[in-house]
Structure 1
Amino acid sequence: MKHLVIHLLCCLPVCLAYPLEGAAKENSEMDLVQQYLENYYNLAKDMKQSLRRKDSSPIVKKIQEMQRFLGLKVTGKLDSDTMEAIHKPRCGVPDVGHFTTFPGSPKWKKTHLTYRIVDYTRDLSRAAVDAAIEKALKVWAEVSPLTFSRVHAGEADIMISFAVREHGDFIPFDGPGNVLAHAYSPGQGIYGDAHFDDDEQWTEDTSGINLFLVAAHELGHSLGLFHSSNPEALMYSLYQPPTDIRRFRLSQDDVTGIQSLYGPPPVSPNEPVMPPESNPPAPKFPVMCDPDLSFDAVTTLRGEILFFKDRYFWRRIHWNHRPEFHFISTFWPSLPSELDAACEVASKDTVFIFKGNKFWATRGNKIQVGYPRSIRSLGFPPTVKKIDAAMSYQKEKKTYFFVEDKYWRFDENRQIMEQGFPRLIAKDFPGVEPKIDAVLEAFGFFYFFSGSSQFEFDPKAKMVTHMLKSNSWLHC
């Protein structure tokens, strides 16, 4: 039973009256705290009297451990924020730091898995349950090589069911309002299965318990993931649905976790791998060697070159003749699609990405804290609503921003927009068409992308030296 891990989402009744009134109420609260620390932070069961005295060093350390994991102020005291967190709905698996896997890192030894919905809830139509489970699996399929197909009979890798009370696995459900569901880590038999308490009120929105969100979390466990200390992660231990379920996206922490087990999605030179669907629509994706291909943004990244288009990007790596093709969300789940501009400031090991009036800072595949920010923080006037293209020129320690027929220049050393700007593109970059989609500095030249055309510009001679196709960088 070493790798058998039960996942219980526990909804604890909210009771936050301070100060506590009466010995009975205090005893109830202390019992709750003791149970919480025993279940999730490995508190020894013989520490009960020490907990009531609230003066024991081991108890203080356990409270501090909990506060640290949940992102609370670390006081070692049962303050109001700590008690509020204890009362929140959460998962019953013990808490651990960052993304992690079950002990021994069990995972499926294959990448195509089957699932079967054995029983249904009474709260939703069968079609709604089918859609929620399919969507939950798709969340993980989009960022890994895993694919899923549904079977309607026999044994599947992941058996999904709704049940009440005792349901055959010695872990009975307890009625409405407490345990929501539990799941098992990858393996044979009951391993990998997910069970949902049908005494809960399952919904498609957040008026009750959102089935998609709980299923996505539970199926993360079925695939081998444990818990994360990142509050933004789906695998965070507290149940906290977003305000808009329709805009749900995996955090980078979740992506890193699943890819630590199974790796990234497979790469095709011509198209991204789409998760299987019962009736998949005809895929619409850019074709690398289309003579009319244009780019939304282009940037370097640690010696690579990235070419963004719609929801995708090509990744040109110097040692690989064939560019890789990925979903943007595979590397940066929180970034929007159809970007406006991107540029790398190599001295900061940072790529800045622009969409509308906001921009993000990334290092590798990690979005930096404090972003997105408004482009006005860079010094742009309110009349500038978006950036068309951006380029960092490391020789000058300047970053160029192109907007319609003008450009601005930002001083990276002083971190200010330079005086005397904007200036006309046509005046300082003669021969370059003013509608610029993207720009790249390489080999001492500036490469301006405009539609399917590309202008190679020599900044010393102040002239266009070559006209190329935009996708010439992709060996077309």
Structure 2
Amino acid sequence: MLPTILKAILFLPWCLALPVPPTTDLEGWDFVKDYFHRFFLTKKALPLLTEGEQIRFLQQFFHLNVTGLLNKETLDILRRPRCGVPDVAEYSISPGRPKWDKHTLTYSIINYPYDMKTSTVKDIIHDAVSIWSSVTPLIFQQVEGQDADIKISFWALAHGDGFPFDGPGGVLGHAFFPNSEAPGIVHFDKDEHWSTSYRGINLFLVATHELGHSLGLFHSGNPNSIMYPTYEYQDLRTFHLSVDDIKRIQQLYGRKTFF
């Protein structure tokens, strides 16, 4: 059983803090403490938990074998590339669930990654928004320029929002929620090797994840969910939203109706 403090933290509003900046890679327990601080708790609350409690919490969250021991399985998943949005926030910047108050949303692609055709990126983003519109009444319309609900861009290292990227690996992207101070902003790390396949980092999978945040979805602890915080390639030929993804997006926007 997890201690009361962890149970309370687990049910606080998720992800309504801003994305978190990267940090230097540390070894062993120092790495775990840093990871826990960046994505789950502040340093003020961290001393309330023992090392074993922190490790058990992480193992439970990532659906690992809960041992309380810092084993290879736990370290391996913590070292995976992941989303920069924290998994549990201490507080919500606004009450209720974050969502758009309309069903027709515009999006724009401000700039593009290295070594990928503009037309390819446009097709990928179209496919990613279509994943979410296929199960909800949401309608997405691409527009040009900055005047859009969802603004998608690629940046390397520091890029003006206070949350710099860290080069290849590490944090792949971050997004801001509909009721945040920067609603609909979606950033990707331009230094990643973005691809359309299993090589490098598949842009479609990460874009679908970050767009989920821009629509109001928090991270999921379900490894089968596209909103799981760490990246793992999935075969695009068989990719589909999990039952968990569909249930949670429909709780925000309702089911798609067919006439």
Which bin holds the TM-score, normalised by the shorter protein?
Answer: 0.7 to 0.9
Conservation of the 8 A alpha-carbon contact between 2:225 and 2:245: yes
Under a length normalisation based on structure 2, what TM-score does the superposition of the two structures give? 0.84
1:170 Cα deviation (Å)? 1.6
Pairwise mapping of residues 261-340 of structure 1 onto structure 2 (< 5 A)? Answer: 261-268=252-259
- The structure whose Rg is larger is 1
- Of 208, 217, 235, the residue aligned with 2:209 is 217
Please give the alpha-carbon distance, in whole angstroms, between the structure 2 residues aligned to 1:80 and 1:35.
17
1:149 corresponds to 2:134: no
Residues 31-70 of structure 1: per-residue CA shift (max 9 Å, x gap): 21111111223163585xx7xxxxx963322211111111
- Please, which of 149, 155, 164 is the counterpart of residue 172 of structure 1? 164
| Alignment partners' CA distance in 1, 2:52 and 2:80 | 21
Aligned equivalent of 1:122, options 104, 114, 117: 114
Contact 1:8–1:179 (8 Å) recurs in 2: no
- Counterpart of 2:238 (choices 234, 238, 247) is 247
Amino acid at match of 1:129: V
Structure 2: distance between partners of 1:36 and 1:3 = 15
Q: Give distance in 2, aligned partners of 1:194 and 1:155.
A: 14
Q: 1:86-145: CA deviations, max 9, x gaps?
A: 22222233336xxxxx96311100000000111111220001100110000000000011
d(CA) in 1 for partners of 2:95, 2:85: 12
Distance 1:57 1:198 in 2: 36
Q: Which secondary structure state, in structure 1, belongs to the residue aligned with residue 152 of structure 2?
A: strand
SS in 2 for 1:240: coil
How far residue 82 of structure 1 moved from its aligned partner, in angstroms, is 1.5
Question: What is the match of residue 39 of structure 1?
Answer: 38
Distance 1:81 1:175, change over 3 A: closer
Unaligned runs of 5+ in 1: 14-26, 51-55, 97-101, 269-476
Given that residues 41 and 94 in structure 1 are in contact (C-alpha distance below 8 angstroms), is that contact kept between their aligned partners in structure 2? yes
Q: What is the CA distance between 1:237 and its match in structure 2?
A: 1.3
Partner of 1:287: none
**1:29 corresponding residue in structure 2:** 28
Which of 1 and 2 has higher RCO (CA within 8 Å, sep 6+)? 2
* Pick aligned residue for 1:108 from 87, 100, 107: 100
SS in 2 for 1:35: helix
- Which residue is 2:250 aligned to? 259
Is the CA contact (8 Å cut-off) linking 1:10 and 1:90 kept in structure 2? no
Following superposition, the deviation at residue 187 of structure 1 comes to 4.0
Kindly report which structure 2 residues correspond to 1:268-417, keeping only aligned pairs within 5 A, or say none: 268=259
> CA offsets, 1:175-228, max 9 Å, x none?
222221111001477311101111111111110111100000000000000011
- Cross-structure match for 2:18: 6
Deviation at 1:28, TM superposition (A): 2.7
User: What secondary structure, in the 3-state scheme, does the structure 1 residue paired with 2:174 have?
Assistant: strand
Counterpart Cα distance in 2 of 1:150 and 1:114 = 6
Amino acid at match of 1:40: F
Residue in 2 that maps onto 1:202: 194
Query: C-alpha distance in 2, partners of 1:72/1:112?
Result: 39
Task: Give a deviation string over 1:228-272, Cα, whole Å, max 9, x none.
Answer: 111110001111111x2222100010000100101101232xxxx
Query: What's the CA shift string for 1:422-443, capped at 9, x where partnerless?
Result: xxxxxxxxxxxxxxxxxxxxxx
Q: Which residue of 1 aligns with 2:7?
A: none
User: Residue type of the partner of 1:263?
Assistant: G
2:124 counterpart SS class: helix
Report what 1:137 is aligned to: 129
Could you tell me the TM-score, scaled by structure 1's length? 0.47
Cα distance, 1:5 vs structure 2: 3.6
- The Cα of 1:11 is off from its aligned counterpart by 11
C-alpha change, 1:7 and 1:210, in structure 2 (3 Å) is farther
Contact 1:203 1:209 in 2 (8 A): yes
CA deviations over 1:347-378 (Å, ceiling 9, x no partner): xxxxxxxxxxxxxxxxxxxxxxxxxxxxxxxx
Deviations 1:411-457 (A, max 9, x none): xxxxxxxxxxxxxxxxxxxxxxxxxxxxxxxxxxxxxxxxxxxxxxx
Distance 1:130 1:11 in 2: 31
Q: How many pairs does the alignment contain?
A: 241
Runs of 4+ in 1 over 6 A off after TM superposition: 8-13
Quote the residue 1:309 is aligned against. Answer: none
Tell me by how many angstroms 1:4 deviates.
5.2
State how far apart, in whole Å, the 1-side matches of 2:230 and 2:107 are: 26
CA RMSD of aligned residues (A): 2.7
Secondary structure of 1:161's match?
strand
For residues 251-298 of structure 1, the C-alpha deviation after alignment (integer angstroms, 9 at most, x for no partner) is 010000100101101232xxxxxxxxxxxxxxxxxxxxxxxxxxxxxx
* Residues 186 and 113 of structure 1, relative CA distance in 2, 3 Å threshold: same
The AA in structure 2 aligned to 1:197 is D
Q: Report if the CA contact (8 A) 1:10-1:91 is conserved.
A: no
Q: 2:83 aligns with which of 91, 108, 118?
A: 91
Distance, in Å, in 2 between the alignment partners of 1:57 and 1:163 is 36
Tell me the amino acid that sits aligned with residue 247 of structure 2: T
Structure richer in helix, relative to its length: 2
Equivalent residue of 1:247, what SS? Answer: coil
